[in-house]
């Protein structure tokens, strides 16, 4: 075998390795995306439902009420959604509207055969009719191994999803979403799992969400945001 063949094979192996590395590095950068943050001096609004209940909240759809729960993260009272025949159930907090926002909550999927979910609604704008408004929602589901971001405008459309271990039913879990401009990031139980860009909704209020026959408890709803016009 001619002597020149060996180094040439080595060169080809080195070139292949370099190409493989160039394909892998962008994935590593995406997985380690920097956290989007709001200004530190923005005030924090915390709703634990034990002090003023849901006074001032807007129930768009669903059966929402404050109930006593022994394992409530914030103390004694939580917000529970018990309607089981609606397509979606939405309640909106008495604050905002916001452009950029950082929202978190704790939810406990209590029951549901079709769905056992909890989610955060943000950039909600009421349509003043029966269509349910327009909004983004990020949600987790105890019956599915995914964590998803949707838009809603007379119908729901998935725009980002990632596979996860389904949240355990009967236990408390944490969801957080940060939206700055068109950049949206979402966390489940302390892990940032979704990052997506979408610019169709610019501002709106924030709230909570379930689907179908989900009976879900919520607590520790916390909001920081840039109010529209401020």
Strands 205-211 and 215-227, sheet pairing = unpaired
CB count, 10 Å around CB of 185?
22
The CATH superfamily of 35-227 is Exo-inulinase; domain 1 (2.60.120.560)
The answer, yes or no, to whether residue 22 has pLDDT greater than 80, is: no
| Coil/strand/helix, residue 5 | helix
- 80 contacts 218 by C-beta, under 8 angstroms: yes
Mean pLDDT of the chain: 89
With a cut of 80, say whether residue 85 has pLDDT above it.
yes
Q: List the domain boundaries for the chain.
A: 1-32, 35-227
Q: What is the pLDDT of residues 181-205, one digit of tens each?
A: 999 999 999 999 999 999 999 999 9
Q: For residue 97, what pLDDT band results from cuts at 50, 70 and 90?
A: very high
- Residue 157, pLDDT above cutoff 60: yes
Q: If you search the block for the tokens 């909004």, which residue do you land on?
A: 135
DSSP state, 15? H
């Amino acid at each position: 075998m001619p002597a020149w063949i060996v180094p040439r094979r080595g060169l080809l192996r080195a070139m292949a390795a370099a190409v493989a590395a160039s394909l892998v590095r962008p994935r590593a950068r995406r997985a380690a995306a920097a956290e989007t943050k709001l200004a530190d001096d923005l005030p924090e609004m915390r709703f634990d439902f034990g002090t003023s209940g849901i006074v001032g909240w807007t129930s768009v759809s669903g059966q929402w009420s404050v109930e006593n729960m022994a394992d409530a993260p914030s103390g004694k009272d939580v917000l529970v959604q018990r309607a089981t025949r609606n397509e979606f159930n939405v309640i909106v907090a008495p604050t905002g509207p916001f452009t950029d926002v950082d929202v978190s909550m704790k939810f406990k999927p209590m029951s549901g055969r079709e769905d056992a979910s909890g989610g955060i609604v943000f950039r909600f704008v009421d349509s003043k009719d029966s269509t349910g408004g327009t909004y983004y929602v990020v949600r987790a589901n105890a019956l599915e191994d995914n964590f998803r971001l949707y838009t809603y405008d007379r119908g729901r459309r998935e725009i980002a999803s990632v596979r996860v271990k389904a949240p355990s039913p009967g236990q408390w879990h944490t969801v957080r979403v940060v939206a700055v401009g068109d950049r949206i990031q979402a966390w489940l139980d302390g892990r940032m799992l979704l990052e997506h860009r979408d610019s169709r909704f610019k501002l709106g209020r924030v709230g909570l969400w379930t689907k179908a026959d989900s009976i879900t408890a919520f607590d520790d709803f916390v909001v920081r945001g840039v109010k529209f016009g401020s």
